[in-house]
Chains A and B, each alone.
Chain A
């Protein structure tokens, strides 16, 4: 086992009923990588993230975190190493941002324990890292989409994880907030957190992510560097859309699109 492999999928398959959703995923993600998870709607991106955070068990195969099978991690140990930031988070009652983010400390607290200075410091750092200290007393359900995204990421940061899984963090955000959010992920990545994010915007992916995992509906998959995976022919198959149509929306890397592969097609 290579020590620097943070998260490894070994022949992981997942079926929902009779339908095979993920077929023998096998790849390793190095520590501190920034990986985009790309693929059409319903292809299993959310499922893959849930598998990686043990919310779902794989039908077959094995997932290892730092070389240790997920099943061997204790219930409270795992959320200290890996945090899943879900797509939607609805919160009943008028809980404040601060109270919500403090829930990220639950894996560190015994059942009867109150929050310690260490917990409060971690919450403080999380709020600061996503730049929402000014929102701490605001009620979560009254926040805008962009603000909510930041709160969700702050919960994950309060867990002080090594790996952060994000399910479509740019969903519902305007282009400015999307760019800000991806920049934020880059900052977190630079601080040493391995990032795996499901993202739809291929331009954002090509510009900001070092590696890409592409899931296709067959089901099949491809993992590699952004340049290797975001190829016109692969995207055409994955998204069932003609390259010429796709090329109008996906601008980078521009040279490749308007170069050999399209002309020769």
Chain B
């Protein structure tokens, strides 16, 4: 079982969630976070912003669904500049995958296969 943390643009979240839905991945936890990447934020005019609002999705899936889930997030969270479709833009986000050793559903107090 693996835990997937995806930091994505807030405006991409709905597309990602819809696609995950269609793929049968129902359990998602959402966090509103702020952060910056290696560009250290963004400068708009005279103002430099170091904290950019992002959406963090936490999804726990069985090992053999990891590739599918990551692919869906990558496809849906990638944004394109009009003239360069398919290239993606800075700030589209990152996906992290970590191990889950064990998982319990509180309702049944039993072992659970994922969220």
Chains A and B belong together in one complex: no
Chain A residues in the interface with B (C-beta under 8 A): none
Chain B residues in the interface with A (C-beta under 8 A): none
